[in-house]
Chain A
Amino acid sequence: MSTTLSLKQRTPVRPSRVLLHTFLVVTSLAWLAPLLWALFAALRPYAETSKKGYVSWPDKLSFANFTNAYQQSDMLHYFGNTLIIAVPAVLLTLFLSSCVAFYVSRFDFRINLFLLLVFTAGNLLPQQVIITPLYRMYLLIDLPGITASGKLYDSALGLVLIHVAFQSGFCAFVLANYMRSLPHELTEAALVDGASVWRLYWQIVLPLCKPAMAALGTLLSIWIYNDFFWAIVLISTGENMPITSALNNLSGQYFTDPNLVAAGALLTAIPTLIVYFALQRQFVSGLTLGANKG
């Protein structure tokens, strides 16, 4: 950012810059290579690659593998499953963690620090530490008529709950820091004027937290969409799986050739890529929220 601050005149083409760009271009391409390779394979028909080999000049590129993968595996259904899980999970996580953050950051209850500690530490635990009892608990909880499986296990509700419980640790910490940076006079004045606590939260604090909420929302959407572990353990019926873990089943069941697997994997990645490219700034600032700035 700042190295060039002192050089006001137009920088001439320096050999060091050329070298730097060469290095960056080469490494960028190397970094993209696995994804480009998958794309290349996905665009070619199996018959062609099996005859000519995979490293060969393509005769014909087409989206046939993509449409086949999409139709054969009923992908729309699995995208739907993900949507049913991710949308409520993201919204609930943001709502509940902002409530906790509001509580610990705007009032000086004795329990505040401890409460925040509990949330933060919980999110740092590896998921496998809690999975065995959680799995048993989910099997024990009967929900006849509420979930299709009659239990918390193997249901979208079960996944939503664990996502909310686990991710709210991170979000509560970030939002608490963010809310603490808002001037206290704002809420104090309103409180003196007789506004209720809920109004303070809903009409004053929450609107001011929009940037942080947007960043966290983007991050959470991508994380929850990408979740593999919870879904693999807590969902037993292939039909009920969200797209990322469903891909694991599909690749054995339906996808017979590597080109089709490549197409299926890339299709699965498309929604996250769209979110990333559309909300790049939010995503990156979400990742570094709390790490370097408020």
Chain B
Amino acid sequence: MSIDILTKSPEAAAEPPRGVPSKKRVPQGHRRLLTRRDRLTLGLMAGVPTILHVALVWVTALASIALAFTTWDGIGFDSIKWVGLQNFRELFDSNPQFWPAVQHNIIWFVVLILIPTPFGLLLAVQLDKNIRFSRVYQTAFFLPVVVSLAVTGFVWQLVYNPDTGLINSLIGANKPGHYIDWIGDPNLNLWAVLVAACWRHTGYMMILYLAGLKGVDPSLREASSLDGANEWQTFKNVIFPTLRPTNTVVLVVTIIEALRAFDLVFVFNKGAQGTELLSILVTNNIIGESSRIGYGSAIAVVLLVISLAVIIPYLISTFRKERSA
């Protein structure tokens, strides 16, 4: 998993107000002074990483699109056959796992945005009050973010185990005949995994909001309290509106996390009944027995289209700010 937090560049805050004629296109770094050798160095410095990144990320993303319209058993290039939209048709019409997976990805996002996100904000607001032991509390909430999702999966399996798990032991459901199979029951397992996902997401949201709150101008708060606003009014009318950039980051991060969700489910039950996810379906086409490359790619394309619908508007707004900086 990786985390992507990107908003405005640091100097964006200090930028002159728009409308003021800015001195754009002042050559920085005196390009004319560059020797031939310098140009070669620069070319290599930008070229090598770009080739690596483009070849492994963008070429493969485009190849996914191309392969989605073919069937291929992976053995030799001549077995690649163009089939048009057949993979998609099959996916939408007859794959019993596809729509549940889409639904689960949506549930994943909705749950993450409704529960751990506001809770993370609540914790951040409390911890931002200059209280004692703040670091200790922060660490407690933040540890799940540091531990890998795979390990998180194992730890939560210990909690959910029907025989020996914490929950069943506490509620007395660990005796034969009374078992609650949190991970095996297709009506329960998605929610069981989501508890673990929320456990982790809260700490992450808390840190993002804490950083956002640190950036709020203290005089705003003082002015608000001088005006007689109570704590809740100050938060609602003064603090929260200034957190807009953080909220954008939080929204984008949460959507992408929901689309990427994989490790927890894979460790729990490999996305068997009840926990299907798009990411799991793609992976099963690779490491499962059946290697249906075109079909797997079609699922990847669905994932790609959804993510681009989020990434593109976000990048446009981010980079627009940047260019004006």
Contacts and interface: CB of A to CB of B under 8 A. Distances in A.
A80 B27 CA distance: 48
A3 to B, nearest CB: 6
Contact of A258 (B57, B164, B204, B260): B164
A86 interface: no
Contacts of A121: 311-312, 315
B293 to A, nearest CB: 6
A157 interface: no
B267 A2 contact: no
- B interface bracket (residues with beta carbon within 8 Å of A): 35 or more
B4 interface: yes
A219 B12 CA distance: 25
A129 B285 CA distance: 13
Given A132-B293, A247-B151, A291-B7, A106 B156 contact: no
B10 A129 contact: no
Contacts, number: 377
Contacts of B323: 113
Interface centre among B136, B252, B287 (most CB of A within 10 A): B287
B48 to A, nearest CB: 7
B159 A228 contact: no
Given A115-B50, A136-B74, A287 B207 contact: yes
B155 A35 contact: yes
Given A197-B38, A223-B2, A228-B148, A37 B28 contact: no
Contacts of B287: 232-233
Contacts of B301: 129
Interface centre among B6, B156, B267 (most CB of A within 10 A): B6
A123 interface: yes
A165 B146 contact: no
Interface in A9-40: 17, 20-21, 23-24, 27-29, 31-35, 37-38
Nearest to A245: B150
A219 B2 CA distance: 9
A77 interface: no
A228 to B, nearest CB: 4
A244 interface: yes
A114 to B, nearest CB: 10
B34 A197 contact: yes
A277 B285 CA distance: 39
A211 interface: no
Interface string B1-13: 1111111011100
B226 to A, nearest CB: 9
Contacts of A164: 52
A268 to B, nearest CB: 5
B240 to A, nearest CB: 15
Contacts of B155: 34-35, 37-38, 262, 265
A106 B303 contact: no
Interface centre among A17, A97, A124 (most CB of B within 10 A): A124
Contacts of A99: 45-46, 48-49
Interface in B270-290: 278-279, 282-283, 285-287
B112 interface: no
A130 B256 contact: no
Interface string A258-294: 1001101110110011001000100110011111111
B262 interface: yes
B46 A17 contact: no
A272 B249 CA distance: 25
Interface centre among A28, A113, A123, A132 (most CB of B within 10 A): A132
B33 A191 contact: yes
Given A31-B199, A122-B57, A2 B218 contact: yes
Interface string B111-138: 0000000000001001111111100110
B297 A132 contact: yes
A132 B10 contact: no
A41 interface: yes
Contacts of A20: 126, 129, 131
A155 interface: no
A66 interface: no
A126 to B, nearest CB: 5
A124 B307 contact: yes
Contacts of A245: 150
A243 B196 CA distance: 21
Contacts of B31: 107-108
Contacts of B57: 122, 125, 130, 165-166, 169
B63 interface: yes
Contacts of A47: none
27 contacts: A24-B131, A54-B164, A96-B52, A103-B45, A122-B58, A129-B64, A131-B286, A132-B64, A165-B57, A188-B29, A188-B30, A191-B33, A192-B30, A223-B2, A227-B148, A229-B1, A258-B164, A261-B154, A262-B155, A269-B151, A273-B146, A276-B143, A280-B139, A284-B211, A287-B208, A289-B5, A290-B7
Given A244-B150, A269-B151, A289-B5, 19 more contacts: A20-B131, A24-B126, A29-B140, A31-B202, A34-B196, A35-B144, A49-B164, A54-B164, A108-B27, A113-B322, A113-B323, A131-B286, A136-B293, A162-B56, A196-B37, A223-B1, A262-B155, A264-B154, A291-B208
